[in-house]
Amino acid sequence: MTAVGDILELSYGKALKGSDRDGGNVPVVGSGGIVGGHSTGITDSPTIVVGRKGSIGSVTWIDGPAWPIDTAYFVKPKRDDLDRRWAYWMLKSLRMETMNKSAAVPGLNRDDVYRLNVALPPLPEQRRIAAILDHVDALRARRSEQLAHLDALAQSIFISLFGDGSSSRSKTTIVCLEDVVERITYGFTNPMSHVSAGIPIVTAKSVRNQDIDLVGGAFTTRDEFNALTDKSRPRKGDVLITKDGTIGRCAVVDTTEPFCINQSVAVVRPRQDLRPRYLVGYLTLSRVQRLMNGMGKGNALKHLQITELAKFSIPVPAVEEQSRYESQMAIVNVHRAALRRSVVAGNELFESLESRAFRGEL
């Protein structure tokens, strides 16, 4: 076991105002990643940048010279037998984002990092470990790209059938959302008890990629769930829309398993003449997403008001056309679900390998 401070130094970056950057090919890197370009750098290649202020503990790899600015550290090896890719993965494994030393502006004290101990294998082992983690990480990235392509395909299918929503087709009726739904409301506002297992509580963070995460959030008791009104307990065929924070993420409820939603999520119950997956397909169009985000109120945290959502305009084609779209999307969603399972499995594999690697077990 070796102290991190014995194998590397976290050096301060150097300020470079936006007006002084000349847009060159050398990345200018802050705590959150690349923020611009310049013609010269202050490091040799390759460069590991660690977030010091703001996105503390983030670790960015630059495969060449870079200019880390003053919100970040950059790594200087203290030993010749230190592989930089191994050092990159090692630093990421330390979870430095939890080491905040400032209440107002998050900050990372490098002395805290220096005191951490890691298992330092011989240089050939470092390279072997780094190669394994690089390979699995590349597989993860490839699967995520494939998933993004499927999402783009879904939008292309919608546009090919109905257009991009910017103009109505001759036989398409434009209505307010409230005219074609049975209900538009949002979830509970009072605090709920949290337990380790029970009925899932879905918040805005649980709705992403047109999917609803029922396992990664909090849970409440069956008794408290039963005490909720129907508006906080969505049913199969409803559409959930995030209304607080990141506005407009949406998904169809395709399960009969019980769960509840809090006030950050709106629930829309379509009538028979509005198919749920058509509604989600329309709401996730890039142009429509921009419109919805523009409806957000508030400075620090944006909120979408239910009354405005109810007045939101939506084209409603014939049910037969909507059903044709749903049939095509059913095929896409089969592949999407399989790919998402593959992404989850890849992430779990990587986390397992990473944990074993820096315990000296890989």
12 membership: H or E segment, kind and range = strand 8-12
The confidence band for 167, taking pLDDT boundaries of 50, 70 and 90, is low
122-141 tens-digit pLDDT: 999 999 999 999 999 999 99
85: three-class secondary structure by DSSP: helix
Q: Which residues of 109-119 are buried (b: 16+ CB within 10 A; e: fewer)?
A: ebeebeeeebe
Structure tokens at 23: 């847009």
Rounded to 10 degrees, the C-alpha dihedral 195/200/205/209 comes to: 150
Structure tokens at 105: 């502006």
Domain 2-118, what fold?
Answer: Adenine-n6-DNA-methyltransferase TaqI; Chain A, domain 2 (3.90.220)
215-257 tens-digit pLDDT: 989 999 999 999 999 999 999 999 999 999 889 999 999 999 9
- Nearest alpha carbon to residue 58 among 74, 45, 42, 41: 74
Q: Report domain extents, the chain.
A: 2-118, 121-161+318-362, 184-309
Q: Is 182 left (phi over 0), alpha (psi -120 to 50) or beta?
A: alpha
Q: How many CB atoms lie within 10 A of CB 27?
A: 22
Longest dimension (CA), the chain: 72
pTM: 0.76
**Phi, psi (rounded to 5 degrees) for 70:** -75, 0
Average pLDDT over residues 264-270: 96
**31 contacts 72 by C-beta, under 8 angstroms:** yes
Structure letter (DSSP) for residue 246 = S
pLDDT at 79: 94
Average pLDDT over residues 148-167: 86
Distance CA 298, CA 292 (A): 14
109: three-class secondary structure by DSSP: coil
Which of 98-107, 252-261, 307-316 has the least mean pLDDT? 98-107
pLDDT at 300: 73
pLDDT at residue 314 above 80? Answer: yes
CATH number, domain 184-309, options 3.40.50.10800, 3.40.50.300, 3.40.50.920, 3.90.220.20: 3.90.220.20
Average pLDDT over residues 317-325: 93
Higher pLDDT, 301 or 284: 284
**Phi, psi (rounded to 5 degrees) for 219:** -135, 155
pLDDT at 104: 66
The confidence band for 151, taking pLDDT boundaries of 50, 70 and 90, is confident
Average pLDDT over residues 270-295: 93
Q: Do domains 2-118 and 121-161+318-362 have the same CATH topology?
A: no
Distance CA 247, CA 243 (A): 5
pLDDT at 184: 96
Structure tokens at 336: 């999407």
Percent of the chain with pLDDT over 90: 79
Q: What CATH number labels 121-161+318-362?
A: 1.10.287
Structure tokens at 189: 């506002």
Average pLDDT over residues 53-80: 95
Mean pLDDT taken over the chain: 92
Average pLDDT over residues 41-60: 94
